[in-house]
């Protein structure tokens, strides 16, 4: 039984930059009754993290340290069998993530990660969803800035629109802050694996059930000036709209015909065009192995900006939802998206899975499906805002 396991939460990758931020958040915010442990491959680095946590809360001196390595599946199975929830920051996930997903699916342990890699998510569905359904494990990907503000922001918006009506939602993302090294490494890795990602997508579509009697689709607006925002709206081809549509396919509350569009909101057109050019250049270089290696060396994984830099970073995502004769505007906003808020989101996801009364789900599920309003309320209490700004 899950309750007989010695740990409520195990954090894998605790010695990395985002991993340690997550441990610090848990040290300050996890209920005293939470039984949590740190996992990684270096006993010395794990012990050093624990010492720093004990400076925050002396009780953390007793946190158990578990030795585990992605190259040692047996060690990952031991971690999964010991935990109700395993959260991991170890990416790029397409390279390092599958052994832990497999271990959690087999052990019936809930799993949460920070991936923004569609290929990885699709492959994990094909290979491990059925096993997780059988054991009761919830496999929840994208529990950071990819894709919680967008997935839960759309849910928050939909819940303020009429039930049973066709609904359309558009999300507009603004952010000030440096993307994490992990996000950059994952993006470059994805760009270099376009063919493999396409194969994984086709394999998933072949076996994944479609919503019965309901339709879920994408809004494909071109680049345009959005007067209500005072900004240019650029289609944003991240994993976020994919996650939103999977939530919509799983939940009838999104209505009989749901569509979603996902955009970056950029005030100045030259900046918008420059961003497109920059992404295009990174994509082109990622196709050439030596150039890809050079790109990956530009941002060192495991390092990040200073606390002062992170304090000046922010994000806002505005949603415009329409349907059933009603129009609403909502906003999800918070601080540093690449590091601090991502660590907060992962930690609160793990706490939510471990402690909250949640819908009965299993297999690979999104944050909206697995945790929904319970996680929204946790994040609001933690300082991330979900607000209704206009309704008509």
Task: Determine the pLDDT at residue 310.
Answer: 83
Taking alpha carbons only, the member of 144, 51, 152, 46 closest to residue 377 is: 152
Domain boundaries, the chain: 2-144+342-374, 148-337+385-391
Statement: residue 92 has pLDDT above 60: yes
Top CATH class of 2-144+342-374 equals alpha beta
Q: Exposure of 210 by Cβ count < 10 A (0-12 exposed, 13-18 middle, 19+ buried)?
A: exposed
In which band, very low, low, confident or very high, does the pLDDT at 1 lie, cut at 50, 70 and 90? very low
Handedness of CA 287, 291, 295, 300 (dihedral sign): positive
Task: Determine the pLDDT at residue 4.
Answer: 87
C-alpha dihedral (279, 282, 287, 293), degrees to nearest 10: -150
Task: Output 373 or 190, whichever has higher pLDDT.
Answer: 373
Task: Determine the pLDDT at residue 195.
Answer: 79
Task: Output 345 or 193, whichever has higher pLDDT.
Answer: 345
Peptide bond into 186 cis (omega under 30): no
Q: What is the mean pLDDT of the chain?
A: 90
State percent of the chain over pLDDT 90.
76
Statement: residue 289 has pLDDT above 70: no
Residue 77 contacts residue 107 (beta carbons within 8 Å): yes
Residue 379 contacts residue 260 (beta carbons within 8 Å): no
What tokens does 117 get? 């890699």
Statement: residue 31 has pLDDT above 90: yes
Q: What is the DSSP letter of 2?
A: G
Rounded CA-CA distance 96/69 in Å is: 10
Whole-Å CA distances, 178 to 117, 182, 194: 19, 11, 25
Q: Up-side HSE of residue 106: CA atoms within 13 Å toward CB?
A: 15
Rounded CA-CA distance 171/149 in Å is: 10
Residue 136 contacts residue 107 (beta carbons within 8 Å): no
Rounded CA-CA distance 250/203 in Å is: 19
Whole-Å CA distances, 241 to 124, 182, 187, 334: 18, 20, 16, 20
Report, as an integer, the average pLDDT of 285-290.
60
Report, as an integer, the average pLDDT of 192-212.
88
Q: Exposure of 207 by Cβ count < 10 A (0-12 exposed, 13-18 middle, 19+ buried)?
A: exposed
Report, as an integer, the average pLDDT of 323-330.
97
Statement: residue 207 has pLDDT above 50: yes
Task: Determine the pLDDT at residue 197.
Answer: 82
Statement: residue 286 has pLDDT above 60: no
Cross-strand pairs, 329: 320, 390
Statement: residue 387 has pLDDT above 70: yes
Longest dimension (CA), the chain: 60
Q: What is the DSSP letter of 59?
A: G
Task: Output 355 or 236, whichever has higher pLDDT.
Answer: 355
Statement: residue 127 has pLDDT above 80: yes
Rounded CA-CA distance 182/372 in Å is: 26
In which band, very low, low, confident or very high, does the pLDDT at 283 lie, cut at 50, 70 and 90? very low
Question: pLDDT digits over 234-277, tens only?
Answer: 998 889 999 999 999 999 999 999 999 999 998 766 555 555 55
Residue 282 contacts residue 295 (beta carbons within 8 Å): yes
Task: Determine the pLDDT at residue 271.
Answer: 57
In which band, very low, low, confident or very high, does the pLDDT at 154 lie, cut at 50, 70 and 90? very high
Residue 324 contacts residue 162 (beta carbons within 8 Å): yes
Highest mean pLDDT among 132-146, 165-179, 196-210: 132-146
Q: How far is CA 148 from the centre of its chain?
A: 6
Handedness of CA 53, 55, 56, 57 (dihedral sign): positive
Rounded CA-CA distance 250/257 in Å is: 13
Q: Exposure of 319 by Cβ count < 10 A (0-12 exposed, 13-18 middle, 19+ buried)?
A: buried
pTM of the model: 0.91
In which band, very low, low, confident or very high, does the pLDDT at 181 lie, cut at 50, 70 and 90? low
Statement: residue 97 has pLDDT above 60: yes
Report, as an integer, the average pLDDT of 177-189.
62
Task: Determine the pLDDT at residue 299.
Answer: 61
């Amino acid at each position: 039984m899950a309750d007989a396991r010695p740990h409520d939460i195990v954090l894998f990758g605790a010695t990395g930059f985002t991993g340690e931020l997550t441990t610090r958040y848990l040290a300050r915010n996890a209920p005293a009754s939470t039984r949590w442990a740190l996992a990684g491959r270096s006993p010395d680095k794990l012990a050093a993290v624990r010492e720093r946590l004990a400076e925050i809360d002396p009780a953390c001196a007793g946190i158990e340290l578990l030795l585990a390595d992605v190259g040692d599946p047996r060690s990952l199975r031991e971690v999964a069998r010991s935990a109700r929830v395993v959260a991991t920051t170890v990416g790029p996930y397409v390279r390092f993530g599958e052994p832990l997903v497999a271990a959690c699916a087999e052990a019936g342990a809930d799993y949460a990660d920070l991936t923004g890699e569609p290929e990885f998510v699709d492959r994990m569905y094909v290979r491990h969803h059925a096993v997780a359904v059988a054991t009761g494990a919830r496999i929840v990907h994208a529990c950071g800035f990819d894709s919680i503000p967008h997935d839960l922001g759309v849910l928050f918006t939909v819940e303020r629109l009429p039930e049973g009506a066709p609904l359309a939602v558009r999300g507009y993302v603004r952010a000030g802050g440096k993307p994490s090294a992990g996000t950059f490494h994952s993006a470059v890795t994805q760009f270099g694996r376009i063919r493999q990602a396409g194969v994984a997508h086709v394999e998933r579509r072949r076996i994944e059930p479609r919503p019965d009697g309901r339709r879920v689709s994408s809004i494909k607006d071109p680049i345009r000036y959005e007067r209500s925002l005072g900004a240019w709206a650029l289609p944003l081809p991240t994993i976020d709209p994919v996650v939103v549509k999977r939530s919509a396919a799983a939940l009838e509350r999104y209505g009989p015909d749901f569509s979603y569009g996902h955009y970056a909101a950029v005030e100045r057109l030259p900046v918008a065009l420059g961003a497109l050019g920059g992404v295009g250049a990174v994509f082109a270089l990622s196709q050439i192995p030596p150039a890809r290696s050079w790109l990956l060396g530009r941002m060192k994984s495991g390092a990040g900006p200073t606390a002062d830099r992170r304090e000046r970073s922010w994000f806002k995502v505005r949603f415009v939802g329409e349907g059933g004769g009603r129009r609403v505007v909502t906003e999800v906003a918070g601080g540093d998206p690449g590091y601090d808020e991502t660590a907060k989101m992962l930690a609160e996801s793990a706490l939510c899975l471990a402690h909250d009364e949640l819908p009965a789900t299993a297999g690979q599920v999104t944050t909206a499906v697995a945790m929904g309003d319970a996680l929204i309320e946790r994040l609001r209490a933690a300082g991330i805002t979900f607000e209704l700004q206009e309704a008509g």
